[in-house]
Amino acid sequence: MPYLGNTPSTSFATVVKDSFSGDGSTVAFTLSKVATTNSVSVFVENVRQEPTTAYAVSGTTLTFTAAPVTSSGNNIYVLHMNPTTTTTHPAAQNLTAVDGTFTGTVTAGSTLDMNGTELILDADADTSITADTDDQVDIKVAGSDLAHITSTYAKLRGATPLVFGENNSTGTFQSISGEVGANNLLLRSYQSLTFKNGTSGSSLTDGTTAFNIDTNGHVTMPKQPVWWAYNGSNNNYTFSSADSYEQMTFTNETLDKNSDFASNTFTAPVDGTYYVNSVHMFNASSSGTVRTDLAIYVNSSLILYKQNKGDNYVTAHSVQISGLVDCDANDTIKVYARVNNTKGRIYLAQTTATFQGYLVA
């Protein structure tokens, strides 16, 4: 039949009843739940007692002004009139409250909105940052996308400052503060900031350091490609023919940070622009005019070269070549030289035949 008023709850509370037996002397009885004087109805011999005058309640203790009469059975009963533990909220209706405390897990079907649009944890409800379909959690601030977090990656975007926590050497909490803007990521640390290469599932202390900024702003990249090679034997290299480029040899290394130099050849580990430099000491086996060329090859193509004009080169002279070359990963960089006649030769030594370079960008 129709009715007026709110839709009744789908679950109803049960009134709790406590029963006791009087002995003519006992005035205090223990209730089954916490109550107040006016929240219970007390009956003795089926006669309702007046609150405050006939009895008082504190916590779970019911105290009578006068001891109830003796009875062979339960002649005292108490009805708790304010049960609250079994009330349920209709699932199809909104719940609104000023504040509250949750003691268990809060589960949101799709969107958890904290304080309007200030922070939204959106469980895979949209993919506006990357159009991916595997987002586990989307974080929004002031209605704008800030982050997508999955089991394998985290993508950040927005104009709201981020703060990451760290501990200093004394165990005091410090912060690495950062700002993620439309085109940049700014981080600030009270200690050194280190990026490491590690395997999947490794801890923060595992892996090798790839990039480090200390507290004074010094930047080090231990894996950055840098090499310096030279020829360790003191002898003259004589060309087998004139006007033909021949590869130069470098038997020793002063440094090779990323182990990319071997067999007179540098192999680019990544795509990028590399600075290269080479120095050689030329002379001639007898008086005469000798023209000398020094060249940098990428793979089998001549990229840079330096030419010395012909002159009487019985006296040794130095030729240097340097510049920038673009490489794809696994491209090779080599040094070649040539002379216009077979009188020309190169003096090979640690200080006169060198080949070095590094990754610029």
- Three-state DSSP class for 27? coil
Write the pLDDT tens digit of every residue in 37-70: 999 999 999 999 999 999 999 999 999 999 999 9
pLDDT above 90 covers a percentage of the chain that reads 43
Write the pLDDT tens digit of every residue in 67-111: 999 998 999 999 998 655 556 677 777 877 778 888 887 776 666
pLDDT at 166 over 70: no
Q: What is the mean pLDDT of residues 334-354?
A: 87
pLDDT interval class at 132 (50, 70, 90): very low
pTM: 0.54
**Sequence spans of domains, the chain:** 16-80, 111-156, 175-219, 226-359
Write the pLDDT tens digit of every residue in 173-217: 455 555 555 556 566 666 777 887 766 555 555 678 888 888 888
- Topology of 226-359 in CATH? Jelly Rolls (2.60.120)
What pLDDT is attached to residue 214? 86
User: How much is the mean pLDDT over the chain?
Assistant: 79
Do 320 and 294 meet the contact criterion of CB atoms below 8 Å apart?
yes
Higher-confidence residue of 298 and 85: namely: 298
Write the pLDDT tens digit of every residue in 220-261: 998 899 999 999 888 889 898 999 999 999 999 999 999 999
Q: Is the dihedral of CA 15, 21, 27, 30 positive or negative?
A: negative
pLDDT interval class at 127 (50, 70, 90): very low
Q: Could you tell me which residues come within 8 angstroms of residue 347 by beta carbon, excluding any fewer than 6 positions away?
A: 235, 236, 237, 281, 282, 283, 316, 353
Region for 38 from its dihedrals, namely left if φ exceeds 0, alpha if ψ lies in -120 to 50, beta otherwise: alpha
